[in-house]
């Protein structure tokens, strides 16, 4: 093997190893976390709480997630991202372990459960931007779409499996044991993430301070119309979908469809659709990725409309499946655009603004869902959710960058199509064509995935 080929193999091997570690850790935490979300609700009820108490514990997780996201993004671009991820996993592990111990001991207080859930949400606020930045910096452009699709397929499978496993465990044992499993999952994932190889990432200069880093991330975010317009769109889309599926869906299932079982089938169909969409995107590389992705947001209005009618269970499952496929097409297209357009050293800060914009309106939407239903009626509220999704998605299509941003050619495709040397062409050593200057944008920050 020549020196040149050895140099190219090293980043390929390192990137593949990092990708496998990130995927395995995400699957492990996904299996634990989605079961623990169900377990936390049952732990509150088991302790004598009611539906309002369950909502308080859920809000205790969401509020710090929103509050600390931007700080978490700035820190993840300032410190080694894998260390931020490991520290967040450690906090989540400890908080869930204490939560499990209190539940198993038999006398958890509401304020204790809220505090521990808030600590878990704080850990996620620091973890999410670091994790997304780490994943985006791990793959090269020629592997990006397929790598992101496979990653999302694995994590969506973990979401489905975790919810099913958590439900089965709660039926057979105390919810505290499910929380203990989640704590163990965070411990294992933290160990895996500690072995990530970040030697290829240059040390980041601290800059002018945390606030300066956050302002720099804001300038990067607001300076790209395609970026802030889609994040603004999703602040409404996520809120509308959350209100429809978290609040109105179970009520429609109870009153119109025959109970929780049909709604479980519908949610399972959505999960199956996400797996199908991710599988599709392992092979499909749309040239105008944001245009295709945005068009695939329109089907997210279908479940709200289906619940408003309401559709029979079979048809509701079908529209849930279609919306699951659609959101994965958008998700892979979005990650690919971020990977292509955002500088590596600013990925976590920009991801933090993306996360913040997407989830900021969710608590308000779920809180207002009940009063809106009382004011206008459930069916009208659901039609309103569907209409908002269509309206804001149509508005985003008026942004030229959303319609026109195109996928840059893969380096491998360019090399395959490049003509051979012709007479009179300037050559480098040994008669080869002189190479173009190295470009992080052309190859990706860490080389080939392998």
Q: What is the mean pLDDT of residues 102-111?
A: 87
Q: Cα separation of 127 and 130, whole Å?
A: 5
Residue 55 — very low, low, confident or very high, per pLDDT cuts 50/70/90? low
At 168 the pLDDT is: 73
The two structure tokens encoding residue 64: 């710090």
Compute φ and ψ for 104, nearest 5 degrees.
Answer: -70, -30
Residue 432 — very low, low, confident or very high, per pLDDT cuts 50/70/90? very low
Q: Does residue 124 carry a pLDDT above 70? A: yes
CA distances from 342 to 226, 317, 392, 401, 446 (A): 12, 37, 24, 14, 15
What b/e sequence results for 196-206 when a residue is b if at least 16 CB atoms lie within 10 Å of its CB, and e otherwise? bbbeebeebee
Residues 316-363 have pLDDT tens digits of 999 999 999 999 899 888 988 888 888 877 777 888 888 888 877 877
Pick the range with the lowest mean pLDDT from 179-193, 265-279, 297-311: 265-279
Residues 295-311 have pLDDT tens digits of 999 999 999 999 998 88
Q: Cα separation of 271 and 415, whole Å?
A: 39
Q: Does residue 414 carry a pLDDT above 60? A: no
Residue 221 — very low, low, confident or very high, per pLDDT cuts 50/70/90? confident
Higher-confidence residue of 144 and 238: namely 238
Residues 386-406 have pLDDT tens digits of 999 999 999 999 999 999 988
At 294 the pLDDT is: 94
Residue 10 — very low, low, confident or very high, per pLDDT cuts 50/70/90? very low
At 275 the pLDDT is: 83
At 203 the pLDDT is: 64
At 412 the pLDDT is: 54
Radius of gyration of the chain (CA): 23
At 107 the pLDDT is: 81
Chain centroid offset of residue 297 CA: 16
Q: Does residue 30 carry a pLDDT above 90? A: no
Question: Which stretches of 282-420 are DSSP H helices?
Answer: 289-295, 302-308, 313-341, 347-359, 362-376, 378-396, 400-404, 411-417
What b/e sequence results for 58-82 when a residue is b if at least 16 CB atoms lie within 10 Å of its CB, and e otherwise? bbbbbbbbbebbbbbbbbbbbebbb
Pick the range with the lowest mean pLDDT from 14-18, 106-110, 443-447: 443-447
Q: Cα separation of 418 and 408, whole Å?
A: 16
For the chain, what is the mean pLDDT?
A: 78
Q: Does residue 244 carry a pLDDT above 80? A: yes
At 392 the pLDDT is: 95
Q: Does residue 58 carry a pLDDT above 80? A: no
**Which helix H or strand E contains 207, and what residues bound it?**
none
Q: What is the mean pLDDT of residues 145-156?
A: 80
């Amino acid at each position: 093997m020549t020196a040149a080929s050895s140099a190219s193999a090293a980043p390929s091997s390192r990137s593949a190893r990092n990708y496998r570690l990130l995927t395995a850790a995400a699957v492990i935490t996904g299996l634990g976390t989605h079961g623990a979300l169900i377990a936390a609700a049952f732990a509150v009820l088991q302790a004598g709480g009611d539906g309002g108490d369950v909502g308080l514990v859920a809000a205790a997780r969401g509020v710090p997630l929103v509050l600390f996201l931007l700080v978490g993004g700035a820190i993840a671009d300032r410190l080694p991202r894998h260390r931020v991820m490991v520290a967040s996993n450690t906090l989540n592990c400890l908080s869930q372990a204490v939560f499990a111990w209190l539940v198993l001991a038999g006398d958890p207080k509401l304020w204790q459960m809220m505090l521990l859930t808030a600590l878990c949400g704080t850990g996620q606020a620091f973890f999410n931007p670091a994790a997304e930045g780490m994943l985006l910096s791990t793959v090269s452009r020629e592997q990006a779409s397929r790598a992101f699709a496979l990653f999302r397929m694995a994590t969506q499978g973990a979401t489905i499996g975790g919810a099913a496993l958590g439900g089965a465990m709660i039926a057979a044992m105390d919810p505290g044991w499910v929380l203990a499993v989640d704590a163990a999952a965070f411990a294992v994932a933290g160990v895996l993430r500690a072995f990530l190889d970040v030697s290829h990432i240059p040390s980041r200069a601290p800059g002018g301070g945390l606030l300066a880093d956050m302002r720099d991330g804001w300038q990067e975010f607001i300076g790209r119309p395609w970026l802030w317009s889609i994040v603004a769109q999703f602040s409404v889309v996520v809120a509308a979908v959350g209100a429809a599926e978290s609040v109105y869906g179970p009520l429609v299932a109870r009153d119109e469809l025959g109970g929780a079982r049909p709604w479980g089938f519908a949610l399972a169909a959505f999960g199956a659709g996400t797996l199908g969409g991710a599988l599709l995107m392992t092979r499909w590389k749309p040239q105008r990725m944001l245009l295709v992705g945005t068009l695939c947001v329109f089907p997210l209005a279908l479940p709200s409309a289906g619940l408003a009618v309401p559709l029979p269970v079979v048809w509701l499952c079908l529209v849930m499946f279609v919306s699951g496929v659609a959101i994965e097409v958008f998700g892979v297209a979005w990650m690919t655009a971020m990977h292509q357009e955002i500088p590596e050293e600013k990925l976590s800060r920009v991801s933090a603004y993306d996360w913040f914009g997407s989830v900021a309106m969710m608590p308000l939407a779920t809180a207002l869902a009940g009063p809106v239903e009382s004011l206008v009626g459930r069916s009208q509220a659901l039609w309103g959710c569907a209409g908002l999704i269509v309206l804001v998605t149509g508005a985003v299509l008026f942004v030229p960058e959303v319609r026109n941003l195109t996928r840059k050619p893969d380096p491998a495709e360019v090399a395959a199509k490049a003509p051979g040397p012709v007479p009179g062409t300037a050559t480098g050593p040994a008669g080869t064509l002189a190479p173009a200057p190295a470009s992080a944008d052309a190859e990706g920050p860490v080389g080939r995935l392998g």
